[in-house]
A and B are shown apart, each in its own frame.
Chain A
């Protein structure tokens, strides 16, 4: 839908500013009450979810024009969706996240492009991944692992690594560990290697919706070609794309879909994954936006007056994946989980999303540092998450700020507990 199709959403904004705060019955302190990295960092109302909508309204009403300044404000936003959750506490007739996406598509349509994002899109077009790394090397990370080639060997479960896990050398051991963990539970697993491609979620978020749709089509046919009946991904971004974005675009993967945290929970529940070794640690859990509120399933498109839309069709962020990772964590002997103040549907973003890491790295780092402070305030020794983008930015933030906090992917702790690895230097080997 084009920006002007969201006119009613935009003019519905009462300017109450709830979108700048954690839902009010969950405000637990002065320090961690704010939810929107964009307006918290930049302060002008325009940077809030409401402000971006009002800028959209102003433009479609012919009161102002899209230019570089406005474009930058639109993109200085992680698309984390915290504003959407907070607004929907009160409103049924505003889909703030959809407006933010439509604003970006509008920028692209109008030729208002962010140079760093153009590089990403170029990279995608050229090499099927957001980094522009050679396509042919996408499967290198799995070298020597005991997994099937999904193209031809017909595994039951297709493991989708995603762009960052495929190419980030610092995270290579993590993703390899995840695969070892699944194999240790006897999962009939395959990877597509060089035949895996980007899910297209990032392109969609950057405003290149057509491009994204091409990737989705491509992904659907690739997955079908493997004959797998289950798809497991270790990347939260990809999970949100598969679970929400694809159905929104009318694409059907035709497999049972799991994020790795859900799959581990299932394996543990079936007794196939045995987490027996103690991992004595006080940890806190970071809900990745794409695993949490942004992965909530697509609920269909409502054509009429949204004030009359059935509540079941309103995406509130409540149906994200929140329990599975917590359940896995709690099942690891020795782990004690202490929650941060901003969790689940109202979690603070890691900072990496929405193209911010690429275009405004200092803002991304600021956002991550804010989360690190929140994690430290719990007294935890370690911050655990389950998304390569979060993992990467948190590890960088810890290094940069010198914070005394270890950062793990959930699979790393599970691997150790399953007796398949050891913890070394804030990561599992």
Chain B
């Protein structure tokens, strides 16, 4: 391994200003505090950072890594601990110079983009031609290419625009040995419109459910399916977030629906899905809303049981639903259907468009998912309970399981009080499946909170396995070792794929295929025993 030699070659390839190994500069890639439960919050420092600007340069970077026994880790925008190196010899490939929208094909409803196009940019351009793009719930700061090709992909619009991976058409993929592979129609005819051929598909290997998180190479371009946008081509908004003011655009409807109990909520959700009327839909957690919108007030009413129970019980089963209709007549139809379904299930629907300030603030938080980064307002950090995609009614039940677990930690002051109910609960594709990821908030500077992170993670892991829920953090090598035997030993297949595509193991693939053990020292032995028991019971 010759780091020096590799650095010299990088400079030759990319020019001095696009390569650095200055320690403070590298630390800007090693500081990854989000979704990082390690109290230190620094991840490993890369040996160099490189900024390629084309597919050819990416290929050459990968080849240099192969030649010099280095690993590479790429990212598009780089938010979250999964972007950082996990080995000591990693070259960080920052793709921000690849920032073009190559093409928007309005007729065939797709866009071809590079990694550093963000959701807001793509949406703004798509809306100009009456189209829209799926934006993940993390927000418009994220790269649509990254989530489509490499990691997760749920968003507030998933009821209409699905999961990122499902929108993926042609893909240009630099494999871990530097070869380029083009998938779908791109691989046969050079056109972008279909992800599964004629031409190689490999969608399962390339992306799978979670994404390889840079563990199988680097994606340099992809085509994404776009959807109908009947709203205005450009938003006229005054203000930048909570202060936003706007007129309600034509043919847009926005409702909050309140249901009396879980069954009514789930049944109504199914019906709404069958009716195919929603543009965005999200089960709202008022705990979550209040703590990002009024965090100071909320910290003041912490542990005030009367107020807590009033809010929790009033707003327990709430759905926010947005309509974007092609005509006034269609909107009227959608609203009529909504009212009928809500009434039938004993609920009531509140027309948010009539509360103009509230609507103004919320509209873009829905359509562009602008709000998620507010989650840091309450305590400075957050994490989410294990579990991801499942049937809608199982998710509704799961939400309550985690609520119970969270209550215990809130009572002990080990996480912040968000009324114990803060799920990111989003149906996909008119409710054929559903995402539920329960958020808990903490202050990373508080040792009591930090100490609770492992136990809470373990508690929700046990609960998820007990209920056979599909787990979220399979990217965590410890979770992978634990649950792979419960799900067809998927980890073994991933390792085989990794060996096949990456003979020199040049990709930093820890989050794709490595396994590791939990450190149970200091954890309540009863919990550990319970975990081992449930794993044993559910092993294939």
Contacts and interface: CB of A to CB of B under 8 A. Distances in A.
A45 B373 contact: no
Given A14-B376, A24-B370, A70-B22, A30 B240 contact: no
A59 B28 contact: no
A346 B237 CA distance: 14
B368 A21 contact: no
A29 B25 contact: no
A16 B381 CA distance: 12
A57 B31 CA distance: 9
A90 B376 contact: yes
Interface stretch (A61-69, A149-157, A161-169, A193-201): A61-69
A12 B380 contact: yes
Interface in B22-55: 22-25, 27-29, 31-34, 41-42, 49, 51
A110 interface: no
A63 B123 CA distance: 40
Contacts of A64: 22-24, 27
Contact of A11 (B17, B33, B125, B235): B33
Interface string B231-273: 0001101011101100000000000000000000000000000
B140 A46 contact: no
A14 B138 CA distance: 12
Interface stretch (B94-102, B303-311, B425-433, B452-460): B94-102
Interface string A20-49: 010111111110010000000011111000
A55 B121 contact: no
Interface residues of B, number: 60
Contacts of B41: 11
B79 interface: yes
Nearest to B367: A25
B124 A27 contact: yes
Contact of A23 (B51, B117, B241): B241
Nearest to B26: A64
A51 interface: yes
A89 interface: yes
Contacts of B378: 307
A402 interface: no
B206 to A, nearest CB: 26
Nearest to B53: A43
A281 interface: no
B118 interface: yes
A27 B31 contact: no
Nearest to B35: A14
Nearest to B49: A44
A51 B28 contact: yes
B139 interface: yes
Contact of A55 (B28, B139, B443): B28
A291 B159 CA distance: 44
B31 A13 contact: yes
A46 B25 contact: yes
A318 interface: yes
B34 A58 contact: no
Contact of B141 (A8, A16, A29, A307): A16
A279 interface: no
A50 B96 CA distance: 15
Kindly state the interface size class of chain A when it binds its partner.
35 or more
Contacts, number: 168
A108 to B, nearest CB: 18
Contacts of A12: 376, 380
Contacts of B237: 25-26
Contacts of A93: 376, 380
B28 A24 contact: no
B24 A43 contact: no
B27 A55 contact: yes
Nearest to B138: A16
A345 interface: yes
Interface in A339-372: 345-346
Instruction: Among B17, B27, B118, B364, find the residue whose CB has the most chain A CB atoms closer than 10 A.
Output: B27
B487 interface: no
A14 B373 contact: yes
A54 interface: yes
A93 B378 CA distance: 10
Interface of B: 17-18, 20, 22-25, 27-29, 31-34, 41-42, 49, 51, 77-79, 94, 96-97, 101, 117-118, 120-125, 139-141, 234-235, 237, 239-241, 243-244, 295-296, 299, 364, 368, 370, 373-374, 376-381, 443, 445
Interface of A: 8, 11-18, 21, 23-30, 33, 42-46, 50-51, 54-55, 57-59, 63-67, 69-70, 73, 85, 89-93, 307-308, 310-311, 318, 345-346
Given A58-B24, A69-B25, 18 more contacts: A14-B79, A15-B79, A18-B141, A21-B120, A25-B235, A25-B239, A26-B240, A30-B117, A30-B121, A43-B96, A45-B28, A54-B28, A63-B42, A70-B24, A92-B377, A93-B376, A307-B295, A311-B296
5 contacts: A16-B34, A43-B51, A46-B22, A89-B240, A311-B296
